[in-house]
Amino acid sequence: MKKSTVKEIRTRFDKDVERFSNLQKGQTATVDAVASLEILSDAAKYLCHGARDILDIGCGAGNYTLKILEKIPNLNCTLIDLSQPMLDKAYERVTNSTNGEVTISHTDIRDFPDNAESFDIITAGAVLHHLRDESEWKAVFKKLFTLLKPGGVLLISDLVVQTLKPLNKLMWERYADYLKNLNGEAYQKEVFAYIVEEDSPRSYEFQQKKLKEAGFAYVEILHKNMCFATFCAVKEK
């Protein structure tokens, strides 16, 4: 099946800002969204407590940056997203939560400048699954490695698949049950339909390998439940 274009993905997210603007509940279609936000932001604090600059790719309405600002105040924040309405919402929320400089960029990470060693923290929340072939994953991970300062950390929370097909079938069946219990069968079918149309998730093992190939010294899993994983990659000092 032909996947959605960047323009088509942008159009859907332009209309869906409020669903991504609840810091208390997170994005409810994501299993353990609140727990993942907490674990990811705690990892940022423990790994990079002296941070000054954060880059949030596919920032949505800014939840990941906002949660990290609770643990590491007054960061300079660079927010990038395909959706201008998402960026506008994120800018409004983040500027009210930091005394640091807030910069927004209406772009795709694939087109973002390679400003070497500019950021202490990069966060990628529910965004990398939009990458397509292996060459895109390789190029984006290398870019993120280049953008990080020595000792910097990349924090990822995303949709994943399982390497073993029987386990992949199990996890997606469990995810289907989760969505049905959350909001009914019609909702489950709607979520699965846009995953098929838009997303190309890869396994944690695939991403771990590509992150190491990009130069990261350490890749650690922080949390996993069903089809969702939160993990980090650290650039050596």
Give bridge partners of residue 116 from the DSSP assignment: none
Q: Residue 129 phi/psi, 5° resolution?
A: -65, -5
Contacts of 188 (CB under 8 A, 6+ apart): 176, 179, 180
The CATH classification of domain 6-234, taken from the options 2.40.70.10, 3.40.50.150, 3.60.20.10, 3.40.50.300: 3.40.50.150
- pLDDT tens digits, the chain, 237 residues: what are they? 566 676 666 666 655 655 554 555 557 789 999 999 999 999 999 999 899 999 999 999 999 999 999 999 999 999 999 999 989 999 999 999 999 999 999 999 999 998 889 999 999 999 999 999 999 999 999 999 999 999 999 999 999 999 999 999 999 999 999 999 999 999 999 999 989 988 999 999 999 999 999 999 999 999 999 999 999 999 999
Query: Looking at the chain, how many residues does it have?
Result: 237
Contacts of 52 (CB under 8 A, 6+ apart): 75, 76, 100, 120
DSSP annotation string for 56-83: EET-TTSHHHHHHHHHSTT-EEEEEES-
pTM of the predicted model as reported, rounded to 2 decimal places: 0.92
Domain limits, the chain: 6-234
H or E element, residue 155 = strand 148-159
Contacts of 215 (CB under 8 A, 6+ apart): 142, 145, 235
**CA-CA distance, 56 to 167, in Å (whole number)?**
31
